[in-house]
Amino acid sequence: MEQFGGPMIRMPSHAKKGSVIEIRSLIIDPMITGLVKNKAGVIPRADFIQSVTVTFNDKVLTTAEWGTAISANPYLAIKMRAEASGTLKMTWRDNRGRHWSTKAKLTVR
């Protein structure tokens, strides 16, 4: 079973100008704290997503910094005022040099 990745964005594809839309996201990641013994009696080192960057039309909308207390398979929802059509991009970066990105398009009337 895939342990990492599969990032998803769920948001409306169309919105009225000036309205506020919700952007929901999910990514598969174990968010290992580095504090807990596993069944083998070993404490696996921390392995978790630290940074999330959300841009709209290449301009930073929101950034998030996460610690190990974010639940596994992190869910994140934020909001955005729909002003112009364009592309939303989210990038997740973890403490092991891995990163994932995905995009979603929005049409604003």
Which residues sit at the interface with other proteins, rule CB under 8 A? 2-4, 20, 30, 32-33, 35-36, 44-46, 50-51, 56, 59-72, 74-81, 83, 93-98
CA 44 from chain center: how many Å? 23
User: In this complex, which beta carbon is closest to other proteins, that of residue 14 or of residue 67?
Assistant: 67
Residues 20/61, Cβ–Cβ less than 8 Å: no
Q: In 3D, which of 1, 3, 11, 6 has the Cα closest to residue 86?
A: 11
Q: Closest distance between other proteins and the C-beta of residue 43, in Å?
A: 12
Q: What is the dihedral of CA 79, 100, 57, 26, to 10 degrees?
A: -20
Q: Closest distance between other proteins and the C-beta of residue 61, in Å?
A: 5
User: In this complex, which beta carbon is closest to other proteins, that of residue 75 or of residue 103?
Assistant: 75
Provide the β-strand partners of residue 23: 78
Q: Closest distance between other proteins and the C-beta of residue 54, in Å?
A: 9
User: In this complex, which beta carbon is closest to other proteins, that of residue 11 or of residue 76?
Assistant: 76
